[in-house]
Amino acid sequence: MSSIVNPLRIALLLALAGSTALGALPAKGKKKAAKPRASSMVDGEGAMPSPIKPVKLVSPEEMASRFFKEALSPYGDWLDLGEYGRCWKPKDISENWAPYTVGAWAYSRYGWTWMSNEDFGGIVYHYGRWVHAVEEGWCWVPDLEWAAAWVSWRYGTEAIGWAPLPPKAEWNTTVGIGVWVDKTYDIGPENYTFCAISDFDAPDLQEVIFSPVENADSVLHTVNITNISPLGKSIFCGGPAYDWVAARVKGTVPVVAVVKERSLIKFRELLNEATDAPVSFKAVLRKDKLTLVAPEWGHIADPRRADALGFTGEIDDSQSKPKWVEGQTDDAVAEKSDKPQDAPVVEEIPVLTGWEGLRANTRAMLKAKVSREVAGLSPQTYPAEPFNPNRDTPSGQ
Is the residue at 7 inside a domain? no
Provide the number of structural domains found in the chain: 1
What's the one-letter identity of residue 140? W
**Residue 148 pLDDT greater than 70, yes or no:** yes
Q: Does residue 20 fall inside a structural domain?
A: no
Confidence of residue 23 (pLDDT cuts 50, 70, 90): very low
Domain membership of residue 14 (yes or no) is no
3-state secondary structure of 259: strand
Residues spanned by the domain of 228: 60-392
**pTM score of the predicted model:** 0.78
Which residues are CB-neighbours of 327 under 8 A, at least 6 positions away?
58, 59, 61, 62, 321
Please provide the average confidence, as pLDDT, over all residues in the chain. Answer: 80
Identify any residues that bridge with 238 across adjacent strands, giving them in sequence order.
227
Structural domain includes residue 95: yes
Q: pLDDT at residue 26 above 80?
A: no
- Give a yes or no: residue 288 inside a domain: yes
Q: Which residues contact 156 (CB under 8 A, 6 or more apart)?
A: 218, 221, 222, 223
In tens, the pLDDT along 247-277 reads 999 999 999 999 988 766 666 666 555 554 4
Instruction: Give strand pairing partners of 230.
Output: 235
pLDDT for 336 equals 41
* pLDDT of 56: 61
Residue 287 pLDDT > 60: yes
The alpha-helical segments, DSSP class H, found in the chain are: 7-17, 60-72, 121-124, 181-185, 215-220, 242-246, 264-275, 304-309, 330-338, 360-374, 389-392
Read off the pLDDT of residues 316-364 as tens digits, 9 standing for 90 and up.
444 445 554 543 333 433 444 454 556 667 788 999 999 999 999 999 9
Q: Is pLDDT above 60 for 5?
A: no
**pLDDT for position 282:** 81
Beta-carbon contacts of 233 under 8 Å, excluding residues fewer than 6 positions away, are none
Report whether pLDDT(7) > 60.
no
* Residue 22 in domain: no
**DSSP class of residue 22?**
T
CA distance 87 to 77: 8
Closest CA to 114 of 124, 128, 104: 104
Q: Does residue 194 carry a pLDDT above 80?
A: yes
For residue range 221-252, list pLDDT tens digits in order.
Answer: 999 999 999 999 899 999 999 999 999 999 99
pLDDT value of position 139: 98
Question: Is 212 within the bounds of a domain?
Answer: yes
Q: Contact, 304 vs 55, CB < 8 A?
A: yes
Question: Is residue 373 situated within a structural domain?
Answer: yes
In this predicted structure, what is the pLDDT of residue 1?
A: 44
